[in-house]
Structure 1
Amino acid sequence: MKRIITTLSAAILAAMLLPACVDTHDDLPYVDPNVQHNNDQNQGPGQLEEGVFISEAFTSSLGGCKSVTDGADFTIDHSTAKITGYENNTYTATTAYLVSPTIDLSAADAAYYTFEHIIAYEKGDVFENEVFMVSTDYSGDASKATWVALPISAAPNAGKPDDWNAFTTATFNIPADYLKNGVTFAFRYKCTDKAAATWEIRNFKVVKGSATETAKYEKPTVKESSLENPLTVSEAISTPTSETEKCYVKGYIVGFVDGQKLADGAKFTASGCTVESNILIADNANEKDVTKCIPVQLTANTKHRTALNLKDNAGIIGKEVVLGGYIQTYFGVNGVKSPFYSALDGKVIDAPAAATGFEGDDFTKEKVTEINVDFTKTIDKFSVYNFVKPDEVAHVWAQGESYGMKSTAYVGATSSNYESKSWIISPSVDLSAYDKVEFFFDHAVNYFGEKGVAAACAIYVSKDYQGGDPSKSTWTKLEGINWSADSKTWTFVDNSLDLTAYKGDNVHIAIEYTSTTEVAGTLEIKNLYLGASRAAEVPVSGFDGESTVKTATLPFEYNFKTTVSLGDFVVYDVKRFASKDEHLWTAGKYGATAVANAESESWLISPKFTLESGNEYELKFTNWYKNAATPANVYKAYVSENFAGDFGTATWTPVAMTFGNASSNNIVTIDLTEYAGKSFVIGFQYTSTAEEKGTFEVIDISLKEKPKEAEKPVSGFDGESSVKTGTLPFEYNFKTSASLGDFLVYDAKRFASADEHIWTAGRYGATALANAESESWLISPVFSLASGKEYELKFTNWYKNAATPANVYKAYAAENFAGDLSTATLTPLSMTFGASGKNNEVTLDLSQFAGKTFAIVFQYTSTADEKGTFEVIDLSLKEKVADIDPQPNPNPSDGDGTYEKPYTCANLLAQELTTSSTGTGYVVGYIVGSVNGSSLNESTAVFGTEGASTSNMLIADNPDEKDWSKCVAVKANNSFKAKVYVASDPTALGKKVVLYGTIKKYMGTSGVNTASYCELYSADGSKTELGTKPTK
């Protein structure tokens, strides 16, 4: 059955956006199927190969395809057609189509489509969100066409892929119903404003003929479960993850996870548990095999966490637990996330509320004379009444110590909004004793969108409500409420309303929350008051705690973070509202922290310092802040020379405080030399306003005399200085020996305070690394080479963090070296470098030094701009081995795998090899392309450079070969693959190669895996030797 995919809104948006969303090509809905948009070369249209209807690599443009969208767009990124609804920390709801040209398949007896793609961060339904489709009635409006989904081959990644290059190839035959004129293909992408995947597509083709189909990705089935029939843990382990399917799981609590991965962080105990966020369950109460367990997320501020975390409930280990939640990836394996139900030993901890009616206790008939509740501590005698509550939402209203009363119908596990309507209702409040009545509450909101919280929430008062269904009573909506705008920093806004009109009445107050499937914001309320009008609170002013100013001696150092104390510092509050903030400055695990809930001003004041005349002094401290658009307005530093405990009479002089990025540590250094010979204190001022109530931290502080003079660098041998003599053949491996052996280190410039050593030996080799400007030499034993012979130096190097490595790392031959580099003759050696972070083999001809005595020296230099890392892994110096007889243009017809008679590709393909074969030999052929897939076949063979693979190459006996069955796949050694793979060097195409390596079954047929040596022949017959040539 054909599926019509259309909505009114999508149709309108697509119609509006279509002209603006067409790619830069001037294609109309119907185009000539014989014209290819050669987007790889950016040369405009070109003829397609015979039998190819569409061919788009998407390396530099969308070619003949076009993107039509009502949100995010298909763009070219990393040589793919990429789309994601997530950009700059924002999700954009999107329905987008990447539409092909309309083509005529009526002359084809058979045809197939193929493309490569990768899906990441998909937490929804891939069969709805990433679809490849075909239509026979597309006429320019994708939303109005009839589309039929076609198979794909890719399991989506719920998170970031382990390898962004792990593309999956989808190849499927096109159903006969679509072998007609007027056929259009499209990739359709969907996401919401709460969650968005990333989809990358490349090498899309529609080709005449039949193909071997790749495996079809089938929609995973989730085993049904219920509270009465929950899954076992073993069943949950094998259940496909789902962002939408609820499930129930039963097991025994066996431990918790402390780490990033289950395999590394599983702890089968409750003893010493410091983790509140998860537990580990299994089918066996004594299970110790991590592969038979699943982790369970205990969401913050829920009854599940309070009752089930092992930090606070060590005695529950081994007990049976039943959980309702979602099977999703957690700690790298299947786990239960976002629980909505839990029961321990048969006793329910928390369960979803009923769809309508009261949720929990009904206090509406109770009578009080005042309400003064802190919702972060209790729900008090408020009742929750649900008018509309979907099953997917466990609770619309929930009380917690971090948020107070929090209401939302957004479910994070499914990234979905739900329609709801729910009230919290006060008990009956008798206002007969009051002349004036005040109603107060504070609140913070977010995610209510353009219409704001006022469109979704309201506060009502009733004089005739007697309990039960509130819809049967009269409720009056309170006007004049100062509702907050959406706030990503969750800034709380106060409201105080005069309800004197209700004096003498018995009233109920109700707060309403509503949501839709489009908008489900979050409302938080911490404090609520209803009673007699209160006089405006008078702010506190004065010392908060200790008021005696202490005296400090230099050098002074104090760390608020490690001591978790303010030490000898005092706090003076200029303005603090005690009902909002018990303290403004506190000491905790992050340092001395200032944060406020109301307008305030408070100072953190140091002990008194007295500096000697004639010296230079430096103040240093580390600060941190967040939630302040202009931190310099909120956080300031001063010096006072006359503060002695009376803040009001002190004079404060500002000092220049700098700030780093929000939520990042920043080190501040201030020159206080002008205060030499004076006494003073340092004061940190914190100010919060209605607009900015940020957080400021001082982590550590020091006040010291400046060093009298700059440190002088060390020069000389670092350790052993006795020059050793080396004998040939010489071989040494720094990595395996974890030692410098007979090599010496000479530091021309090293600052001892920054670097104890520059050259060291460890598990990676001989490593040079510095924290300051430096110059250091690694010196080999001295070698004496015989006259009349040829010699070869080989070593493996590695580097990182150097934009120009040749400026930082150099090699020389030091003739006549006897312990003093300044008297030796240094001859530069031509050192090459591979890619940063990759091993690189260097081979140098040292025949010019035959008959001479010298040492090999490696120079490492670091500057203020480049302080990279350099490693020498191994080194050898030997007499050259005579070359095997050269073969200027080898191509025998009866190869036997020797250098003189290498195998031809035909020879190799005639052999029956397995993947476990271990034979080696020489093979000769011409480079003709590569394989874009895991096995060599008609659809994966790529002849030429367009769409070439970076992981292999194809060779054949004919340089113009286009028949994949006559080709051999080759994997080359990392040290020279960039010079023979056409994806890295297109000029390699067509060149003759003689390869030596392991001959075995590779990519489904006879091949070479891996080639360790290669002779690469140029058109003039000259050859370049790559890798390590085997000896006879």
Structure 2
Amino acid sequence: MKKILFSVLALAMAAFSFTSCEDVPAPYDDPNAGGGGEVVLPEGVLLDQSFTNSLGNFTSISASGSLKWYNDYSSAMVTGYQDFNGDGQKENQAGVTYLVSPEIDLAGVENAYITINHSIKYERSDINTNNTILISKDFSGDVNTATWEALTYNTDGLNANGSTFDFYEKSVNIPTSYMGSKIVIALRHTCTESQSSTWEVKSLKVQKGQAPEEGGSELPAGTYLEQDFSSTLGTFTSQAASGSLKWYNDYSSAMVTGFQDFNGDGTKENQAGVTYLVSPEIDLTSATDAYITINHAINYEHGDINANNSIVISKDYNGDVKTATWKMLEYDTNGLGSSFTFMEKSVNIPAEFIGSKVVVALRHTCNDSQSSTWEVKKLSVKAGSVDEQPSGDTGDLTAANGNFETWVSGLPNNWSTTSTAGNATLSMSTDAHSGSYSVNVGGDSKYNKRISYKEMELKAGEYTMTFYAKAATATGASVRPGYVPVTDGKVGNYFYGDYTNDITNSEWVKVTHTFTIDADGTYCVLIMNSKNPGGDVLIDDFTLSMGETVIIK
């Protein structure tokens, strides 16, 4: 009887306990629960999705291929590089895959922006093109029929070399044309059978207001625009006036060509088109003068270089290149047109555009019978004016040319090697430590690049090398001085000094390196432009001395 009484009493206590717990509020609702209680967002926040445990209220939809967004490494992630067939080897698979948000109501909202915390690795083409933030106000469930607009975001820091996935928070404003509408946001991943990035996203938020300016994006005084195209088109946009060609990112450049294998038959053919690469708006309202500098190469041009590979400017561009009024700015084409030798060219902005807000564009024109290939490493707009650039050889051909004042066919005299010691792309720069010119040493985020003086016979002994370095872009630079022995035209082991890191584009840095050569022989003295970070670097006022004897100056 006692056992029965105790059992009844225990059941009653348990029932009381469960009933009491029903009145205790949950500490919070999990926004990733996918069916939990209603989430109350903070004031001004329209969407706040964490992908730590799931895709939440977002949906993976494939436009082509069979890839999917999925949850791993505490992120939403997608990649086309996996072991798809189970043979133990990873392979690339093509696909266009969307991660689509729930509907977001912008009724009564004047301004809003998106913030994404993400990491991108292994992207070999344009980051924004293949890892895209999109917006639509007519999405009804089918990504292929919706009208999508790509929102270009700052890619600084993303897709860096190394083994770690470094996450960066990036923000981008939602265009005002979407205010007052119901919209969806999507992340679109594009990959091919030859390459795919891995994109990992920790969170995505939409909130009222304007996107905060990201740290590190401030331009040096007197610089209105500076765009490096080594890994992305950046804030520039490709737009076709006719045809279907596009500017895209390859060979560490923005590039365009109408000579490709368009039909997939293995043979290249020409295709006609007029294609613009358009800058963001540039505010020259407080400028008194300004000029454009472009580092570029043009090959296979059989017509007029300026007409078919044009720098143009407009002050009434409103999003449509066909309705804007464009003025062509004629630049010096010496050394361009028939090779992939990169050259830096500058041109003044006409007075009629000073005091206005303008856009600059690169316009490529080709037809069914011929097309150039135009590759652009960087473009800047700065205060001031430039004198007419030399058209042909310049400088003293008898000088050692450590000051980079002597140029032949667009290259610095004496700074080419018969061996492989020098492998960087070199071009003239008017940003000089002293004199009129320095040399721009092209960088690469995948490989170290070297500028080398021509092979020389050097005696055994102690040498001192000095030079000045400055990053050519906001990417920054790192350099390392050294030398290499050359025997029968072949290089031996490279011997380097210390790295000089964190070189900026705001000041020149002096680098000094002392080294000892053990035996008489043929040598190349050189400077490595490190792949980390891989930006272009300017070099000027190079000297090499042995004791009191100056060999190069």
**Does TM, normalized by the shorter one, top 0.5?**
no
Q: TM-score range by the shorter chain?
A: 0.3 to 0.5
Per chain length, whose mean CA-contact separation is higher, i.e. which structure has more relative contact order (CA < 8 Å, sep 6+)? Answer: 2
Pick the structure with greater CA Rg: 1
What is the TM-score normalised by the length of structure 1? 0.24
